[in-house]
Structure 1
């Protein structure tokens, strides 16, 4: 049994089709079928039940599939780390991020590029907590800037800064003229909030709970851009990170501070504790921490 056989087997299971798997692997279907049969003969177990219409994993196949996924991921990680050992000033840096960092991260890049001008940087939005953990553990990203407080043994979580969550509403809304706004005043408003699994949602609902107020949730969204569009059409109100609104000029939308000390959130930098970090990657992490006055 070798890694190529395991890769073939995993692809067949993922595609649930020999023909689709063969096409993805760029080999002939007979060659793929023979490789799976050879693996089954070697193990002494039938791994797949095949009919004219579908493929089903046997009990042995289920066990092997889970183990094979883990082994192939580990091999992929080893290959990535070996490549990164050689990177000192060029290569690719993959950064996960939330929406509100876009106002400050270009400033960090300006400083970083003085030392590493040849790095290719890829930004990916990674929002929900499970997505953050998966992205880091599969090495899809080198590190992630997130508002999710990740408490895992294999993940380092460094607080960078705190920011307020501010009320965003249409210019014609009656509350625009209020100097001070309490959460109680929002109780019967059509509220726009992040979907389940997003830390901002938890932060907001906790603030309402502390004030013993029940918000009237009308819309659930994944991106603040969607919330802003709904507010712009006067379809509801929302609470958003103040940094997300920096640099925006929209006369139809007004932001107001809410009289609540609970409406804040922390932004963190997270990365795998035991992952090899190239000098170029470490330099970006250090530059980010330095930008917010954090010790190296």
Structure 2
């Protein structure tokens, strides 16, 4: 007994006609009659009483019909669920990101929500290069927005945009009143920098090294929010991504663009090259790339 036989049987019962059922099923009437006969042989009893004028279910046929309808309904539900799985996976989208992406990614999410309101989005910070690779390879995230160039054969890195690292200092700091500031003006300032392993730290150190300048590191932090809290107490200065500051309107914080070509970086979209992603997840990837095209 298989699903095709049950489908044939249920269709015959619902139509109460072999000819009408055969037309609906797109098979010949003799083929349908043989299929029902084979089903009766398999179950070991007659399920339909046939006459020249009508068809009736036997007592045993009634029981089989009820079971068959239930089984076929369950299969339709399974087919629908599998179509949804193909479209949206398990209904969960896990995104890794750097802090400065918070400025624009809600705009992409708003567009996405209009099409996939049932998808659950999990946003996590993934900052260092090693953590980016580990998170992708262990399938902890579907993709990551990072300022790290991940040059690995199994990982795709798509450049999205460039952003500057800008100087942030307290409004009462003497440098806040200057129109033009260079890195040489910062080499004796108590500096707040991200911890080892973070790309922003490497960018800052590289910029100072390119001008053969020393940096007086006073505080090391993991989050820009911590750096801002120190700056608000006028405990030091820092360089951080301009996008991170885009929605900050704290008047005590002054932002200054430094005249140094080294203080610009690229932000990338990264994901595993050969990983299967449901179409609903691919749509989000496409929306990100179109957002910056």
> TM-score with structure 2 length normalisation?
0.70
State the partner residue of 2:263: 263
Counterpart Cα distance in 2 of 1:91 and 1:277 = 11
Counterpart Cα distance in 2 of 1:88 and 1:219 = 44
State the partner residue of 2:9: none
Change (3 A) 1:83 1:96: farther
Deviations 1:162-207 (A, max 9, x none): 0010000011100011100010010100001111111111111111
Q: Does 1:192 align with 2:181?
A: no
Query: Unaligned 5+ residue runs, structure 2?
Result: 1-81
Counterpart Cα distance in 1 of 2:159 and 2:227 = 26
Deviations 1:100-155 (A, max 9, x none): 11110111011112221211100011111111111000000000001111111111
Change (3 A) 1:142 1:89: closer
> TM-score with structure 1 length normalisation?
0.69
Q: Does the Cα contact within 8 Å between 2:89 and 2:278 map onto a contact in 1?
A: no
Structure 1 stretches of 4+ moved >3 Å: 82-85, 87-90
State the partner residue of 2:97: 97
State the partner residue of 1:171: 171
State the partner residue of 1:210: 210
Counterpart Cα distance in 2 of 1:145 and 1:269 = 5
How many corresponding residue pairs?
Answer: 212
Deviations 1:69-102 (A, max 9, x none): xxxxxxxxxxxxx999534387000000111111
* 1:218-257 equivalence runs, <5 A: 218-257=218-257
Q: Does 1:275 align with 2:275?
A: yes
Counterpart Cα distance in 2 of 1:211 and 1:180 = 17
Counterpart Cα distance in 2 of 1:255 and 1:248 = 10
Counterpart Cα distance in 1 of 2:98 and 2:240 = 12
Counterpart Cα distance in 2 of 1:83 and 1:240 = 45
Query: Unaligned 5+ residue runs, structure 1?
Result: 1-81
The DSSP-based 3-state class of the residue aligned with 1:158 is strand
Q: Does the Cα contact within 8 Å between 1:90 and 1:118 map onto a contact in 2?
A: no
State the partner residue of 1:288: 288
The DSSP-based 3-state class of the residue aligned with 1:86 is helix
Q: Determine which structure has more spread, i.e. the larger CA radius of gyration.
A: 2
